[in-house]
Amino acid sequence: MTAASRNGDAGRSAQENERVRAQYEAHPYPARNPKDETKRLVDGSPSGLAEFRHYLFAGGRTMPKPLRVLVAGGGTGDATVMLAQQLRDAGWPAEITYLDISTAARGICEARAAVRGLAAIDFVTGAIEDLPKRAPGPFDYIDCCGVLHHLASPEAGLAQLVAVLAPNGGIGLMVYGALGRRGVYDAQDMLRTLDAGDSDAGRLDLARRLLKQLPATNWLRKNPTVGDHIAGGDAGLYDLLLHARDRAYRVPELHALVESAGLAVVTMIEPWRYNPARYLTDPALLKRLETLGPLERAAFAELLTGNIKSHIAYLVRATERDGRTASFDDLALVPLLKGIDGAALARGLKPGAGITVETDGMRTRLPLPPRAGPILALVDGRRTIAEIVDALAAGGDQARAAADVCATLEAFRELNKLFLVARE
């Protein structure tokens, strides 16, 4: 590469950086109204407290106090507000740093935090590329959701996150999934072709006009998993179809990105979506799948379903992987259901019936032990695994009770609806 071409690439990158920054100043994403904080807490993955305690800190047994948190690319504040609120509710001391390039997005996050009285947040305006200068850390937990795929170099951005990650820390990451966003990049290409140096308002108008004219055969129109252009307002439409820099990953590409930074994937969320055995029933196919490693199986599941629009993963340094995730062998841990009333679910669960799960048009059925109902009725967020096993066995076969309890809990963990946490 000549000096002239390198300078040209640097100039284009700088122009793209400025356009990305200007986009989020004009259209903070996602669109949020601070007044809504009186009505609900936006919850999700990555970075739910119970979730990352389970996968990164052995259920909280190894989680530092205070916990030093970085939200890298915090946008309008979903992860920052969720984390700050959940940590405060749990009584877990924490130091939270919010970082974003957009002052407009930062202002919305600050207003949302103020509504909730969440004062212990350090707000920093800056780019991930400048992390060691703007927010040197070290941080025990880093949230980076929907950001790396908008950087000039995702590899360099991830390396900067690792540079401020504390020993035995962890990262919650989300990047776009290539197959589930089918049609998005075709529409982006069409809009770039039609763009004649329009203003933001002009680009949005052009996008809306094109969307109205998409034929029934168009991939974006046929893709039911992508909806920001329909329900996300101006910010959602611009972010999806008019972004200056946007790429997506397939599973092997994500793992290569992670490994380039000396990291390893602890789990993908939700785990069941990356298990091809949850979609197939043919014994010959299942037998072949048993010979594949975890990465190959996850890549196969992505190809099989074709509808995974984003990849969420928890990461640790490859040299620090052992003992990070809570184990069902640790009977002193407490099972905690997410968004499910165990007793209510137990009342409607027929013995041996299993449960049906549907996500983005994909349906699967997960088997459960015949005693799953009584087990779920005992999962109240206070009893330990040992106490649930004892109650189920009632003086009978302890080994069988333990096997049924673990099988039931594992099924809901695979759905990302159950985590193990240490009793406080």
Angle between helices 251-260 and 154-163 (to 10 degrees): 50
How far CA 117 is from CA of 81, 93, 110, in Å, comes to 10, 15, 10
52 & 101 share domain: yes
- Looking at the domain assignment, is residue 325 inside a domain? no
How far CA 244 is from CA of 18, 30, 249, in Å, comes to 9, 17, 17
Can you give the residue range of the structural domain that contains 193? 184-232
**Identity of the amino acid at 86:** Q
- Looking at the domain assignment, is residue 195 inside a domain? yes
Reference 139, options 104, 113, 165; nearest CA is: 165
Supply 370's token pair: 């015949």
The whole-number pLDDT of residue 4 equals 47
Reference 81, options 114, 53, 59, 104; nearest CA is: 114
86 & 166 share domain: yes
DSSP one-letter code for 338: S
Helix (H), strand (E), coil (C) string for 265-309: EEEEECHHHHCHHHCCCCHHHHHHHCCCCHHHHHHHHHHHHCCCC
338 & 408 share domain: yes
- Looking at the domain assignment, is residue 120 inside a domain? yes
Predicted model pTM: 0.95
How far CA 376 is from CA of 78, 342, 387, in Å, comes to 30, 5, 13
- Looking at the domain assignment, is residue 18 inside a domain? no
- Looking at the domain assignment, is residue 354 inside a domain? yes
The whole-number pLDDT of residue 7 equals 46
The whole-number pLDDT of residue 353 equals 82
Supply 326's token pair: 């809570």
- Overall number of domains in the chain: 3
How far is residue 278's CA from residue 280's CA, in Å, rounded to a whole number?
6
Please list the pLDDT of the chain residue by residue as tens digits (424 residues).
Answer: 555 444 456 567 889 999 999 999 999 999 999 999 999 999 999 999 999 999 999 999 999 999 999 999 999 999 999 999 999 999 999 999 999 999 999 999 999 999 999 988 999 999 999 999 999 999 999 999 999 999 999 999 999 999 999 999 999 999 999 999 999 999 999 999 999 999 999 999 999 999 999 999 999 999 999 999 999 999 999 999 999 999 999 999 999 999 999 999 999 999 999 999 999 999 999 999 999 999 999 999 999 999 999 999 999 999 999 999 999 999 999 999 999 999 999 998 888 788 888 888 888 888 999 999 999 999 999 999 999 999 999 988 999 999 999 999 999 999 999 999 999 8
The whole-number pLDDT of residue 3 equals 52
Q: Determine whether 217 is exposed, middle or buried from the number of CB atoms within 10 Å of its CB (0-12, 13-18, 19+).
A: exposed
- Looking at the domain assignment, is residue 9 inside a domain? no
172 & 189 share domain: no
**CB 77 within 8 Å of CB 116:** no
| Domain closes at, from 257, 285, 320 | 320
DSSP one-letter code for 101: S
CA 315: distance to chain centroid?
11
**Identity of the amino acid at 3:** A
**CB 292 within 8 Å of CB 285:** no
401 & 293 share domain: no
**CB 175 within 8 Å of CB 249:** yes
43 & 119 share domain: yes
155 & 202 share domain: no
